[in-house]
Amino acid sequence: MRFLARTGLSLASALLASQLVYAAPKSFRGCSHKLKESIAGPPHGWTPVAAAPKDHVIDLKIALPQPNFGTLEKHLWEVSDPSHTRYGAHLSKEEVDELMSPHPESLSIVDEWLASHGFDESQLVRSPAKDWVTIRVPVVVAEEMLGTTYHIYEHSASGDSIVRTTSYSLPEVLHDHIDLVQPTTMFARFKPMKSSLHWSTLTPASPSTSTGTITGPAGNQVDASCNETVTVTCLKQLYNSVDYNTTATNGNQIGLTGYLGQYANYDDLEQFYELEVPDAYGSNFTFVSVNGGQNDQDPADAGVEANLDTQFGFGLTYPTPGTFWSTAGEPPFIPDSLEANDTNEPYSYWLSYILDQTDIPQAISTSYGDDEQTVPYSYASRVCNGFAALGARGISIMFSSGDGGVGDGDADPATQECYSNDGTNRTIFIPGFPASCPYVTAVGGTVNIPETAVFFSGGGFSDYFARPSYQDSAVEGYLEKLVPGTYEGLYNASGRGYPDVAAQAYNFLIVYQGQTGYVAGTSCASPTFTAFVSLLNDARINAGKSSLGFLNPFIYSGGYAGLNDITEGNNPGCGTEGFNATIGWDPGTYCVPDPAHRQN
């Protein structure tokens, strides 16, 4: 059966396909397709190697338009602006669902189209607002529905394989009722932002030789050993929370996301707690499976990323209840293992799940992302809208800004330059997504005490999203300082600038497979900053106030006064020195928590 599947159609799939195609009612039979979306070609490093097996199963996700999103966005700005009378008056799940829902006509005609291919309601999986619908189809049916041909593409550097196409079409009558269909043109590899430039494996820990203390930015004392090894104690000292005790029962929560088979190991967490947070020893977090995400506790399958996130995110906030979501969907698949499903839209799976919950942790960290240009704009925009919906509900969403400086860590070996994948092969900087989404808080990285920008801190300007008004003044102030002509043509000066904040990101001491070792990356910074946001939420809730919610309007309108400005360092990439840190906002770090201030 393997050879039949590789070269043609299995008997079962052939029967299924014939039933689906020839069951089409007259209303769609014979309708001509019109191009809906295309890309110039696969991104750098991806090569087509074979036609996709016809019975390979795809979870096809269809996004319907959100005609009321503008109204939701207006609510988001108002409830997130400290100067507005509605600040903190976050929306309910039901209110958000209503504002995200498609027009009934779109639902009706898309359902009719799906029925024309043999799908009834029992085979459709809908998002809470019904703005996404998911069906499971063999490639042969997807090709018929989308007027396209799928291929297996292989990534030369990693060996990853995915099933994709470079264009697809829809009956013209559907174009106003469907925003996008994926997986089709999305080639994102979706990687964790940890150590990717620095160590391929965990670096063993060694005893610190430093003694004494260092005076922090507000006169606070930090152990000198923190310049060699970052621990929970170091971060509490540096960001002035040593004497703050959270409340475990006031409703405050913190959440961390896990993808790509990254499993947070309980035994490693207990060993970490015994080493760094003794009071937390014996405690644990809540595990939630999304889309079949696993909770493998075999020590050999522990994930460096998952361990880092849970150990520091939950260690800094103990005893605040913590949740770890494991979302299934690993981009690569093995062409010979046709039982595996090829799902590479993990953000939409997680968003669909989390937006359907009534009780959501108020601060959430994600340490994964990819090159913005490998994610089709249509998909990036819709996922970004989902983060806006969470912000409107009072949830702070943090993302690592990336580990490639102004690039992606995958520059041309000969020239070190980075190139566009729009067919022009232009020399450009490579922004990252979802850090570039204007509805999330992107977290860059720092190193040492006093803090400077760490060399790999991702930062720059989005090519997809326009600069939001909340950062106009800050970003324009930075651009005015640049020497005229600096990196001209390499970045979009009118795009959303990132990161928004920064935190320590180097030499974090974790426990992995029973051993202590160091990791680095903005994957360290995001859960760290999120933990301190959670501490602030704890204080606010105790004072009878709302959670902070979407942070950026607050940060840029005055919240920066409660942060410590990073003014030294740079973030090289793409054969350049990148952007320099400076007074005020810069595309590398901006600000870190300031021990002299607390916003309650």
Cα distance between residue 405 and residue 522, in whole Å: 11
DSSP string, 343-363: ---HHHHHHHHHTT-SS--SE
Whether 305 is catalytic is yes
**What distance in Å separates the CA atoms of residue 327 and residue 261, rounded to the nearest whole number?**
8
584 is in an annotated binding site: yes
| C-alpha distance from residue 450 to each of 207, 224, 230, 564, 571 (Å) | 22, 11, 14, 10, 17
309 is catalytic: yes
Residues 6+ apart with CB under 8 A from 588: 444, 453, 457, 459, 499, 502, 566, 569, 570, 571, 578, 579, 580, 581
Which amino acid is residue 237, in one-letter code? Q
**348 carries an active-site annotation:** no
Q: Is 586 annotated as a binding residue?
A: yes
Rounded to an integer, what distance in angstroms lies between the CA atom of residue 477 and that of residue 448? 27
In the 8-state DSSP scheme, what is residue 208? Answer: -
Closest alpha carbon to 508 in 261, 219, 315:
315
370 labelled ligand-binding: no
- DSSP 8-state class, residue 463: E
Burial of 360 per CB tally in 10 Å (0-12, 13-18, 19+): middle
* Cβ–Cβ under 8 Å, residues 256 and 316: no
Q: Using CA atoms, how far apart are residues 67 and 54, in angstroms rounded to an integer?
A: 36
Given 73, 97, 305, 371, which residue is catalytic? 305
Contacts of 362 (CB under 8 A, 6+ apart): 252, 253, 254, 394, 395, 396, 534, 537, 547, 548, 549
Omega cis (within 30) before 413: no
Of the residues 80, 378, 396, 523, only one is catalytic, namely 523
Q: Find tokens 């959501």 and name the residue.
A: 360
H or E element in which residue 549 lies: none
Active-site residue, selected from the candidate residues 37, 309, 345, 403: 309
- Mark the binding-site residues, compressed into ranges: 565-566, 584, 586
- Mark the binding-site residues for Ca(2+), compressed into ranges: 565-566, 584, 586
Positions annotated as catalytic residues are 305, 309, 523
